[in-house]
């Protein structure tokens, strides 16, 4: 019996607040306050053209806190998808918060990434996580995914640091084998 080999795929996991949309320093859930960050549509198009699946990985603890609803978050995600030219392949959201519920999905835990890796048959070593917080890097490491930090307040670590998603995307594409 001949064994069939399935090709593992690659993806870029993307944190939402501070990477895809402008970080406001507070929960962003009203669509009129949800501002897609400069360069994001171009960055996503570049990554898509390079053959990456695009998967958003976002904590949305304000839902568990009762500050906003899942529908509010989904409306922001639709605004992002529309602005990005409908290129995002999946959005994983962890609505829990430690003040009200425990969740292995919530970053710095890695369940959202692990679910996507399984669902899309991804090779973690061929993927990237782009985040703006240490919790994003921790989640990536737990699932074997290399990571990049973006933004002006990115904590100093041993991972590449770039100014924004567009710079990170250009770096990823230039470092793809």
Task: For residue 83, give the CATH number of its domain.
Answer: 3.40.50.1000
Cα 93 to chain center, whole Å? 10
pLDDT of 5 reads 58
The domain tally of the chain equals 1
Phi, psi (degrees; rounded to nearest 5) at 62: -65, -20
CA distances to 32, 46, 47, 62, 127 from 8, rounded to whole Å, are 39, 20, 17, 35, 10
Query: Range of 71's domain?
Result: 39-174
In this prediction the pTM is 0.91
In a domain? residue 154? yes
pLDDT of 166 reads 98
- Is-contact 26 138, C-beta < 8 A? no
pLDDT of 66 reads 87
**Which tokens is 162 given?**
């770039």
* Residues acting as catalytic residues: 15, 17
**Parts of the chain with a pLDDT under 50:** 2
pLDDT of 56 reads 98
In a domain? residue 27? no
In a domain? residue 56? yes
pLDDT of 52 reads 98
Q: Is 136 annotated as a binding residue?
A: no
- Is-contact 160 171, C-beta < 8 A? yes
Q: Is 17 annotated as a binding residue?
A: yes
Bridge partners, residue 90, by sequence: 55
Which DSSP helix (H) or strand (E) runs through 171?
A: helix 165-174
pLDDT of 144 reads 97
Q: Is 26 annotated as a binding residue?
A: no
């Amino acid at each position: 019996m001949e064994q069939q080999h399935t090709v593992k795929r690659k993806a870029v996991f993307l944190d939402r607040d501070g990477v895809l949309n402008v970080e406001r320093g507070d929960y962003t859930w009203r669509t009129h306050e949800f501002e897609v960050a400069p360069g994001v549509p171009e960055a996503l198009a570049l990554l898509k053209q390079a053959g990456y699946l695009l998967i958003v990985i976002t904590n949305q603890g304000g839902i568990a806190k009762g500050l906003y609803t899942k529908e509010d978050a989904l409306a922001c995600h639709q605004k992002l998808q529309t602005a990005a030219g409908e290129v995002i392949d999946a959005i994983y959201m962890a609505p829990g918060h430690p003040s009200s519920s425990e969740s292995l999905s919530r970053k710095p835990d890695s369940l959202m990434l692990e679910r996507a890796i399984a669902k899309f048959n991804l090779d973690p070593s061929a993927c990237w996580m782009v985040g703006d917080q240490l919790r994003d890097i921790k989640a990536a490491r737990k699932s074997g995914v290399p990571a990049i930090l973006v933004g002006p307040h990115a904590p100093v670590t041993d991972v590449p640091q770039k100014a924004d998603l567009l710079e990170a995307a250009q770096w990823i594409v230039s470092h793809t084998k």
